[in-house]
Amino acid sequence: MATHACVVRRKADAACFAKLSASQSCLTAKSVNRSVSVFALLFGVVLAVGVSGAPFKSENEKFTCLPKQGNADQWVALVYDSQHSITFACDGGTPLPSKLLSEDDGLIVCNESDGEDECEKNAAPLSTFLPGAKKEWVTGTLQQGIKITIPDEHYPATSKAFRVGCKAGKNVCLLHVYVQSRESEVIGQVAHCAYSPNVRLRPITVNPENNGVTLICGPDGKAFPDDYMNHHCTELDECKERPYSAVFPGFSSSFWTGEASGVAGATLTIPKDQFPSTAQTIYLGCTGHPDDKQVTCVVPVNIEEVAKPAGAGSNPGGGSQPDQSSEKRDGEQVNKGKPPTGGSGGATTGKQNASQNAKDKGETGGENGDSPVLRGDACDELPSYVALSAASLTATAIFAY
């Protein structure tokens, strides 16, 4: 029976663990704590003593096949945001597929389920199994080790896998590379979608300062609705289509650039003069499996309103609705425009309001707890106090005389 082994980091999804649990042995790439280190050391001693001439070597993030010593079937998990690379070497054998490296395509690999014969027959560039893969991701030589590195931004929306290996006579050593799907997430103004049932991302806010939002569905997904450059969804859980022109009267499909299924996604940019006068929420999304409506990724986009210019919203017809505009001056409220219904005149009402404000401030110590200060129209009452004091003084003088 072929020996199974794996190298994983602390993060791997359920699909990988399901396969790894069936393996006879599992070597961790890096120890988590001292107890794990001791266990790994003891396991290494047992392996060295009990399994003399193992058909592979595993050290950190490097695998070396030794096919002359037997058959091997190894598993490696490349985990998004954790482990990005694996180095594969072949010692004492020939590569599988035979043309493992290509100047034009970089790494040539096999389907994850292919055996020796199928692997040689159906070999294809890495980009066939991992869309967007570039030959620059592959460095090194077969003898020293071929290093495969996948950048974070190129992790797929759905998990991928492929095989490489080497052989010597009838012995075959295969390395199964499992690439975990990235997580759905929002980074800044960019929504990255991956596909598991009912993914709901946090909202993205769009305003005149940040007037764009990018949707990345990836090669394994597509945006919805189908005509996403002219229509959006109005609800989170059910896509009821509505044209963008209902939100942006001057909308044009040229507001969109790029392709949602591309690596960089599609970007919606709202011109600063096209923002609505009331706040709106639209929903953008991707689906990875057209036949399964539950496998969706949806992001709410909150569109802020643009403040109305001064004077907008006034009542030029002279209706009964008062102008509610007001301003703060020296800590008091100053009403502007038409007086409230029932007032006996603008000047009188203003004076009464100011007197009442002054009285309220005198009772409460002012708005901020300071000593009460008479401001504005309340000062008009001072001459009456002075006149009263003068009359009292005159009466006292006459009485004394």
Whether residue 253 has pLDDT greater than 90: yes
Q: How far apart are CA 116 and CA 300, in angstroms?
A: 48
Instruction: Give pLDDT, residue 183.
Output: 86
HEC letters along the chain: CCEEEEECCCCCCHHHHHHHCCCCCCCCCCCCCHHHHHHHHHHHHHHHHHCCCCCEEEECCEEEECHHHCCEEEEEEECCCCCCEEEEEECCCEEECCCCEECCCEEEEEECCCCHHHHHHHCEEHHHHCCCCCHHHEEEECCCEEEEECCHHHCCCCCEEEEEEEEECCEEEEEEEEECCCCCEEECCEEECCCCCCEECCCEEECCCCCEEEEECCCCCEEECCCCCCEEECCCCCCCEEEHHHCCCCCCHHHEEECCCCCCCEEEECCHHHCCCCCEEEEEEEECCCCCCCCEEEEEEEECCCCCCCCCCCCCCCCCCCCCCEEEECCEEEECCCCCCCCCCHHHHHHHHHHHHHHHHHHHCCCCCCCCCCCHHHHHHHHHHHHHHHHHHHHHHHHHC
Average pLDDT over residues 353-380: 39
Q: Which residues of the chain are in CATH 2.60.40.1320 domains? A: 3-179, 185-303
Whether residue 397 has pLDDT greater than 80: no
The CATH class of 185-303 is mainly beta
Higher-confidence position of 225 and 34: 225
The pLDDT tens digits for 78-107 are 988 788 899 999 988 899 998 888 888 889
Average pLDDT over residues 229-249: 92
Instruction: Give pLDDT, residue 290.
Output: 59
**CATH of range 3-179; options 1.10.630.10, 2.60.40.2700, 3.60.70.12, 2.60.40.1320:** 2.60.40.1320
The pLDDT tens digits for 2-58 are 434 444 433 444 444 444 444 433 333 333 333 433 343 334 433 433 444 788 888
Higher-confidence position of 381 and 73: 73
Q: What is the mean pLDDT of the chain?
A: 71
Q: Model confidence at 132, in pLDDT bands (50, 70, 90)?
A: confident
Whether residue 133 has pLDDT greater than 80: yes
The pLDDT tens digits for 327-361 are 333 333 334 434 334 443 443 444 444 444 444 43
Average pLDDT over residues 155-159: 85
Instruction: Give pLDDT, residue 354.
Output: 42
Q: How far apart are CA 263 and CA 131, in angstroms?
A: 9
Which residues on neighbouring strands pair with residue 222, listed in sequence order? 287
Instruction: Give pLDDT, residue 236.
Output: 87
CB contact at 8 A, 76 and 11 = no
Instruction: Give pLDDT, residue 196.
Output: 76
